[in-house]
């Protein structure tokens, strides 16, 4: 999304280019597929002709939901030996582009949703709230979504990235992250039936707080800082620009499951912290095409984070002004990335987690 108008409530939502610029998230999904296979082998099968009920939590445009949901349909049908009905509910926040989601799920050739007795639905509500009746779900899958917080408690004044926060601002973010993760687990515990499986691929951080994206975030922050100095963005807009994410450490992910409120609700079956490869930098090293690399990195950043950042712009700015700012940001980002590709090497940390509802 290059400077498309930023709708109200867009913080946390993905931009229009998400389908094209989400190979990183797709790679994370690939890492999660073995856990999904094991979850499908372990979950209690539906009985008496009832459907298998699955949630895809934080689906965005659905681009990276097709493969895992096909795995779900094929696996349950292998286990039952018949066309067991399957209901998949893709959820996301109301600002998500649900038109794009349905276009992906319904119009992509070979989509899982074309299989007989498969029903693809959507729900526009935060996963920090109740989403389903008690005991509804056999399986819940969430890929690269739970690091998005329910909001920014206090903006990080001198950087766009929460990992750079210090002092009280940092403590407020840690507290929001803890409360959100506990709420997520509490609601899923109520919604999953006994034996039901929860697979989460969560944006994560090493023990020292590094998410693997610090160079990329520093580059984007420097571009926005330059836009403030040029008078394109006001200092107070910049101060409000904080991406509403918190990449949890393994300890933060596991705390409520070990001794916190969800300890008796779930059994931790497996977990692992992985560092994703930087696919774009690997391609650059092969092709030497710096211009393409800079465009791809900028496209990824804008698709994932620009709606959140631009939701901090003064509401009086019209769509054309916002579009122009998006163009200016993209141009600055491409120049900066092309000048020093290694500085934006990005190896996102992802926490792979599989839980059984007790």
The residues binding ligand SAM (CB under 6 A) are 12-14, 22, 25, 29, 58-60, 64, 91-93, 96, 126-128, 143-145, 148, 150, 304
Kindly tell me which of 71 and 228 has the beta carbon lying closer to ligand SAM: 71
Give whichever of 59 and 337 is closer to ligand SAM, judged by the CB atom.
59
Euclidean distance between CA atoms 141 and 199, whole angstroms:
5
Q: What stretches of the chain show up as alpha helix (H) in DSSP?
A: 23-42, 66-80, 98-107, 167-191, 214-229, 235-240, 250-258, 279-287, 290-310, 319-339
CA 35 to the chain's CA centroid = 18
Please give the Cα distance from 345 to 213 (Å, whole number): 7
In this complex, which beta carbon is closest to ligand SAM, that of residue 142 or of residue 249? 142
Query: What is d(CA 33, CA 73) in angstroms, rounded to the nearest whole number?
Result: 13
**Nearer of residues 73 and 201 to ligand SAM, judged by Cβ:** 201
Nearer to ligand SAM, 233 or 276 (CB): 276
Residue burial 315-354, b: 16+ Cβ < 10 Å; e: rest: eebeeeebbebbebbbebbbebbbeebeebebebbbbbbb
Rounded least distance, CB 164 to ligand SAM, Å: 20
Structure tokens at 266: 């779930």
Nearest Cα residue to 149 out of 140, 162, 136: 162
Nearer Cβ to ligand SAM, position 4 or 84? 4
**Residues β-bridged to residue 203:** 350
Say what the alpha-carbon torsion angle 291, 292, 297, 303 is, to the nearest 10 degrees.
Answer: 120
- CB 252 to ligand SAM: min, Å: 17
Question: What is d(CA 76, CA 63) in angstroms, rounded to the nearest whole number?
Answer: 22
Paired tokens of 253: 């992910």
| Closest CB 32 distance from ligand SAM, rounded Å | 9
Is the CB of 189 or the CB of 227 nearer to ligand SAM? 189
Give the three-class secondary structure for 22: coil
The least CB distance from residue 339 to ligand SAM, in Å, is 27
Compute the least distance from the CB of residue 123 to ligand SAM, in Å: 9
In sequence order, the β-bridge partners of residue 26 are none
Q: Residues 6 or more apart from 108 whose CB is under 8 A from it?
A: 66
In whole angstroms, how close is the CB of 245 to ligand SAM at the nearest point? 9
CB of 234 to ligand SAM, least distance (A): 26
Q: From the CB of 229, what's the least distance to ligand SAM, in Å?
A: 30
State which residue, 20 or 78, has the beta carbon closest to ligand SAM.
Answer: 20
């Amino acid at each position: 999304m290059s400077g498309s108008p930023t709708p109200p409530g867009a913080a946390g939502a993905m931009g229009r280019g998400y389908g094209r610029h989400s190979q990183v998230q797709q790679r994370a999904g690939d890492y999660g597929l073995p856990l999904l296979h094991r979850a499908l082998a372990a979950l209690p099968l539906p009985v008496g002709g009832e459907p298998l009920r699955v949630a895809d939590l934080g689906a965005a445009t659905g681009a990276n939901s097709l493969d895992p949901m096909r795995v779900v349909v094929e696996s349950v049908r292998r286990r039952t030996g018949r066309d067991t009905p399957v209901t998949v509910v893709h959820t996301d926040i109301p600002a998500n582009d649900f038109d794009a989601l349905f276009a992906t799920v319904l119009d992509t050739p070979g989509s899982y949703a074309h299989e007989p007795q498969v029903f693809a639905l959507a729900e526009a509500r935060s996963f920090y709230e109740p989403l389903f009746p008690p005991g509804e779900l056999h399986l819940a899958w969430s890929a690269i979504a739970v690091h998005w917080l329910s909001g920014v408690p206090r903006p990080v004044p001198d950087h766009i990235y929460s990992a750079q926060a210090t002092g009280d601002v940092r403590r407020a973010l840690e507290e929001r992250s803890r409360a959100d993760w506990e709420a997520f687990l509490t609601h899923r515990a109520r919604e999953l039936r006994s034996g039901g499986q929860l697979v989460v691929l969560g944006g994560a951080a090493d023990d020292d707080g590094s998410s693997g994206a610090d160079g990329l975030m520093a580059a984007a922050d420097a571009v926005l800082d330059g836009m403030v100095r040029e008078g394109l963005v006001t200092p107070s807009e910049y101060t409000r620009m904080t991406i509403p994410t918190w990449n949890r450490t393994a300890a933060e992910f596991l705390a409520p499951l070990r001794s916190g409120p969800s300890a008796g609700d779930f059994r931790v079956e497996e977990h692992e912290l992985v560092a994703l490869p930087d696919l774009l930098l690997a391609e650059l090293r092969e092709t030497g095409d710096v211009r393409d690399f800079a465009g791809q990195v900028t496209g990824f950043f804008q698709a994932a984070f620009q709606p959140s950042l631009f939701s901090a712009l003064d509401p009086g700015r019209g769509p054309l002004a916002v579009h122009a700012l998006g163009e200016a940001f993209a141009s600055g980002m491409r120049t900066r990335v092309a000048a020093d590709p290694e500085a934006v090497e990005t190896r996102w940390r992802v926490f792979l987690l599989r839980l059984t509802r007790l």
